[in-house]
């Protein structure tokens, strides 16, 4: 009897919905991770290349839930190649990648036709914290940067962007009509980190303008589904950008209204979180290009031949 085929998109979306139903935004980063003494990092493959897109969320979620400190993730085979082994009883985390295949079919007139299609595939990785026999290099404990250095880096990054940013008033928003970002004065925020997190969020919204990424989810009014999807993109994008700039994304509380709108979107479309994560990555990549910085683009998992596909 053939086992039913796994629906990875549904499994991952269900995981994220479960977190939201408990009032937790799963894309919030593990700010107090033991390996970085309060700093935040992107999850890394065995070769040191950062994960991207939905895999960042999946591995952050697992790290937070289990208290993992190391940023490194290895397959079972990679652990053995480094002379180590996964501890008995440890459960791995599924990460995914998109592959592409070509199939041949016969057309109406009997001619062969080539058709390309993409597919979602998964493989299992383990945190270095789940693996015995790895040396200390897999558990880095860098000294956190001085606050002034962190703020200087943010100032340099945002100043390099051609965005019209205006300060004043008591609201933070992006106005697409006038194409400007409005922020309260930095002194009005509870911390400088909150200011830069808020600025990152609104700057991700700024990328939706028709002259840039032309991102439109059919938003008609505040709180509708199109609004909710755009907010998810900006939330995740701010998390990604914060990881690169070393700034927590604490600008918005987990208000019930936001949670409810996100849940409606994810329950209605099992692949919505994949699209939102991809759009967020696209937004952050654009910001890095405009700022002339490097976001460590990496490669999609599976390209290096280090994947271990799941059984059907």
pLDDT in tens, 211-265: 999 999 876 665 577 788 898 899 889 989 988 888 865 554 444 556 677 778 8
CA distance 33 to 290: 30
Q: How far is CA 78 from CA 25, 95, 99, 307, in A?
A: 31, 15, 21, 9
- DSSP letter assigned to residue 69: -
Query: Token pair 């032309």 is at which residue?
Result: 214
More confident residue, 250 or 156: 156
CA distance 284 to 180: 18
Asked if pLDDT for residue 207 goes beyond 50, the answer is: yes
Q: What is the pLDDT of the chain when averaged over all its residues?
A: 80
* pLDDT band of 36, cuts 50, 70, 90: very low
Work out the average pLDDT over 185-190: 78
Work out the average pLDDT over 281-306: 69
- pLDDT attached to residue 259: 63
Asked if pLDDT for residue 96 goes beyond 50, the answer is: yes
In 3D space, the residue among 302, 296, 1, 272 whose CA is nearest the CA of residue 123 turns out to be 302
In 3D space, the residue among 5, 3, 8, 6 whose CA is nearest the CA of residue 97 turns out to be 8
Say what percent of the chain tops pLDDT 90.
38
- pLDDT attached to residue 299: 36
Asked if pLDDT for residue 8 goes beyond 50, the answer is: yes
Query: Token pair 């099992």 is at which residue?
Result: 270
Highest mean pLDDT range out of 22-36, 73-87, 174-188, 193-207? Answer: 73-87
- pLDDT attached to residue 250: 55
- Please, how many CA atoms are within 13 Å of residue 194, restricted to the half-sphere of its CB? 13
Length of the chain: 312
- pLDDT attached to residue 103: 75
- pLDDT attached to residue 32: 39
- pLDDT attached to residue 306: 41
With H, G, I as helix, E, B as strand and everything else as coil, classify residue 146. coil
CB distance 260 to 227 below 8 Å: no
Work out the average pLDDT over 123-148: 80
In 3D space, the residue among 200, 71, 55 whose CA is nearest the CA of residue 138 turns out to be 71
Asked if pLDDT for residue 189 goes beyond 50, the answer is: yes
Global pTM value: 0.65
């Amino acid at each position: 009897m053939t086992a039913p085929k796994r629906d990875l998109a549904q499994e991952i979306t269900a995981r994220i919905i479960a977190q939201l139903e408990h009032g937790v935004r799963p894309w919030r980063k593990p700010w107090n991770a033991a390996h970085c003494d309060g700093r935040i990092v992107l999850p890394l493959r065995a070769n040191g290349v950062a994960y991207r897109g939905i895999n960042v969320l999946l591995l952050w979620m697992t790290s937070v839930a289990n208290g993992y400190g190391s940023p490194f993730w290895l397959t079972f085979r990679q652990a053995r190649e480094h002379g180590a082994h996964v501890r008995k009883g440890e459960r791995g985390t599924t990460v995914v990648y998109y592959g592409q295949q070509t199939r041949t079919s016969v057309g109406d007139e009997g001619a062969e036709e080539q058709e390309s299609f993409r597919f979602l595939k998964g493989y299992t990785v383990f945190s270095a914290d789940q693996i015995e026999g790895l040396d200390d290099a897999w558990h880095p404990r860098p000294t956190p940067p001085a606050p002034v250095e962190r703020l200087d880096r943010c100032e340099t990054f945002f100043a390099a962007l051609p965005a019209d940013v205006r300060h004043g008033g008591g609201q933070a928003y992006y106005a697409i009509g006038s194409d400007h970002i409005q922020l309260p004065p930095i002194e009005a925020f509870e911390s400088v980190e909150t200011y830069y997190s808020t600025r990152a969020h609104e700057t991700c919204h700024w990328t939706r303008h028709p002259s840039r990424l032309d991102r439109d989810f059919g938003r008609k009014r505040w709180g509708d589904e199109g609004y909710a999807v755009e907010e998810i993109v900006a939330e995740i994008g701010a998390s990604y950008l914060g990881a690169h700039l070393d700034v927590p994304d604490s600008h918005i509380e987990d208000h019930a209204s936001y949670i409810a709108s996100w849940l409606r979107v994810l329950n209605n479309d099992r692949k919505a979180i994949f699209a939102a994560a991809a759009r967020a990555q696209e937004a952050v990549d654009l910001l890095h290009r405009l700022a002339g910085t490097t976001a460590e683009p990496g490669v999609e998992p599976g390209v290096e031949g280090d994947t271990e596909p799941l059984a059907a």
